Amino acid sequence: MPDLNRITASTTVLLIDDNALLRAAMALALQREGFAMHRAASVAEGLAVLAKYPRISVVVLEVDLGPGTPRGFAFADVALARHPDLGVIFLTGRTDLLMDRLQGPHEVHLTKPCAMPRLAEAIRRVASVL
C-alpha cells in the first residue's frame, strides 16, 4: 500500500477552472489536504503555469472552460505531449462531454459536484502511479 502522506506531500497540483470562486474554494480545500497548488483560469494560462512550474505532477481541470474557449481536452493533449508523465483529472457537470474522450492511463474522469475527499483521493491515486 502506498504511503499516502508521502504521496500528498510530494504532489504539486495545477487546478484549471474558469469559475474564480470555485477555483479558489477547491484550491484551498486541496491545500488543506496537503497538496502544493497552482491555479489557472484558462487553457492558455494553464499551459503557461505548467511551463513555469515543471514540478507539477497532476492537473485537475474543468472540461468545459466557458463559451468560445478550448475545452480541457485541448489542454490535456498539448500538456501530455510535452509532459507524458503528467496525471490528469477531468471534472465536469456534463457527463456527455466525458464520452468524447477515452480515459488514458494517467487520467481520471469525475463528475461535478465532486466531494473534496473524493477528488483528493483521485489525485493521490493518479500520483501513486506516476
pLDDT at 1 over 60: no
Q: 62-95 burial, b for 16+ CB within 10 Å, e for fewer?
A: bbbbeeeeebbbebbeebbeebeebbbbbbbeee
Query: Angle of helix 20-32 relative to helix 116-128, nearest 10 degrees?
Result: 70
**C-alpha distances in Å from residue 5, one per residue of 2, 89, 120:** 9, 20, 12
* Residue that wins the pLDDT comparison between 58 and 71: 58
Name residue 37's beta-bridge partners: 13
Measure the CA–CA gap between 88 and 103, rounded to whole angstroms.
10
pLDDT at 124 over 90: yes
Per-residue pLDDT averaged across 36-40, rounded? 97
| Structural domains of the chain ordered from first start | 4-128 (3.40.50.2300)
Give tens-digit pLDDT for 70-90: 678 888 989 999 999 999 999
Model pTM score: 0.90
Per-residue pLDDT averaged across 37-57, rounded? 95
Q: How far is CA 24 from the centre of its chain?
A: 14
Predicted pLDDT at 4 = 64
Measure the CA–CA gap between 105 and 87, rounded to whole angstroms.
9
